[in-house]
Chain A
């Protein structure tokens, strides 16, 4: 990771099956598009610590698995306020990406631009995306990161 790069790409996930896709994409992105202008990070269930992970960047791309009822492998880009909050928390384990970004907004801690890239993994048991499907997802995400890079000053 290059400390202090203006674009930060964060893969959020957990060790469980298709929920690793954020990590796998970030690792593949870093191999495909290394750049002094991009920090690549993987975060395991970061909760509110996501805010510290994106602090100081100009633009942020967060990549995470999602369940939105779409075809598995669908890549869907969202602005922060399009994310659905989980509702009332019973546990701090339930504090996810949407909640962390909302908290950051309420505290004035968010970078100027935060884009969320959701990768549809389908309903449980959600097998990991692999092979051609993963390659197709990677191509789409590369294009998203390239577009964000072009918008850097």
Chain B
């Protein structure tokens, strides 16, 4: 077997400020160096909000991510409401679950059809996939549009449609608007079941290995906005104790931020959620999953696409459950009285737990904010996964094949990125 020295550098051009890269060096048949920098945490947003009124927080954090504005608003709202002792009540609580259903539908549909399906059906892009599987891709776009309808139900028609405020929502949708969306949900339900079957039938690599994974867990429901933090290694803590168990640090010789749980990289996201909360899924969802023959809990990261399809099915059923009993509230929000304090919010963004800590002064202005996004938390795990998976794949494979497998591994995580992405560019260091 010829042992090659390979250096793979991934320069990434930026649509906005930011940078990202994957550096891979192989020496003597082993990975000598692997460094991933694809995400910069939103430190500028945290700094920007210091000294500002709490009313600016939700509008500002919604702009951090184009795909997950709801997640950022949910984590921040819960933290601020905790500080102010604000209890929005059952209507707000349920409608916030509807809102999250919408965001999961949008994000998961995008992932499955733009990233996972092209990979696992052997197409270089979703555009190529659409040429051969137009029915399936159009179905994905319909699911995404349905998610958008749910988000807009609770928002407005502005460029940023999310209508969340501290204490609840700016407005309550009318019964007619809810009835229209309910009809769309019912129409889409068979498509969600078909999607689970389709994704479950795809031929996938198997890179199962041991690693910790973390999600929320709630006493009664599949987790979205509330619960304790749990793991497959016995963790079970309130979200306020996050910093006692999880630590952020800069990776050596890199600007990348790594998070560790008790010193180890860990996974967050749909695979972790499904693995840790199977008993919170409705029977119909479990039945559809069972028919695929794929068993959960799974440590095969390539099953994350199926976990997303399962959550699409769940989100449609959950939104139907809540909206079928919809009544107009007396008011869509409960007025909050600002006071000083520290509060925590941790909610399940499409990509995993998004943890916030906010500190307010007595006038309700921000003293300090800390935001730990899911992609920050996954960055160390992605590196470990790449190390394992590329070694398993075979470091003596052609450079292009190594590059493609590396891209596929990264795509499983669907990382939030600070910038546009490109092909991995392969620079071969022949020494």
Contacts and interface: CB of A to CB of B under 8 A. Distances in A.
A106 B16 CA distance: 28
B131 A14 contact: no
Contacts of A102: 127
Interface in B157-183: 157-160
Contacts of B366: none
Interface stretch (B86-94, B227-235, B237-245, B408-416): B408-416
A87 B231 CA distance: 36
A48 interface: yes
Interface residues of A, number: 37
A144 B417 CA distance: 33
A44 to B, nearest CB: 5
Nearest to B17: A124
A45 B63 CA distance: 10
Interface stretch (A16-24, A29-37, A130-138): A16-24
Contacts of B130: 103, 106-107
A88 B114 contact: no
Contact of B141 (A1, A52, A86, A90): A52
Contacts of A90: 38, 407, 410-411, 415, 417, 421
Given A107-B134, A124-B17, A49 B145 contact: yes
Nearest to B415: A91
A42 B156 CA distance: 13
Interface in B347-385: none
A99 B118 CA distance: 14
A93 B18 CA distance: 14
Contacts, number: 120
Interface in A56-108: 86-96, 99, 102-103, 106-108
Contact of A91 (B17, B137, B411, B423): B411
Contacts of A47: 66-67, 110
Nearest to B416: A93
Given A52-B148, A107-B134, A93 B67 contact: yes
A145 interface: no
A99 B110 contact: no
A144 to B, nearest CB: 21
A92 B115 contact: yes
A87 B17 CA distance: 19
Interface residues of B, number: 45
A51 B138 CA distance: 11
Contacts of A23: 159
B342 interface: no
Contacts of B16: 14, 16-17, 19, 124
Interface string B105-116: 011001100110
A113 to B, nearest CB: 20
B51 interface: no
B397 interface: no
Contacts of B126: 89, 95, 99, 103
Nearest to A1: B157
B422 to A, nearest CB: 4
Given A88-B424, A90-B407, 17 more contacts: A14-B15, A16-B16, A19-B16, A42-B158, A42-B159, A45-B66, A48-B110, A48-B114, A49-B148, A88-B125, A89-B114, A91-B417, A93-B67, A106-B134, A107-B138, A108-B134, A125-B17
16 contacts: A42-B159, A45-B66, A52-B144, A52-B148, A87-B421, A88-B124, A91-B415, A92-B114, A94-B421, A102-B127, A103-B126, A103-B137, A106-B134, A107-B137, A108-B134, A124-B17
Interface of A: 1, 14-17, 19, 23, 42-49, 51-52, 86-96, 99, 102-103, 106-109, 124-125
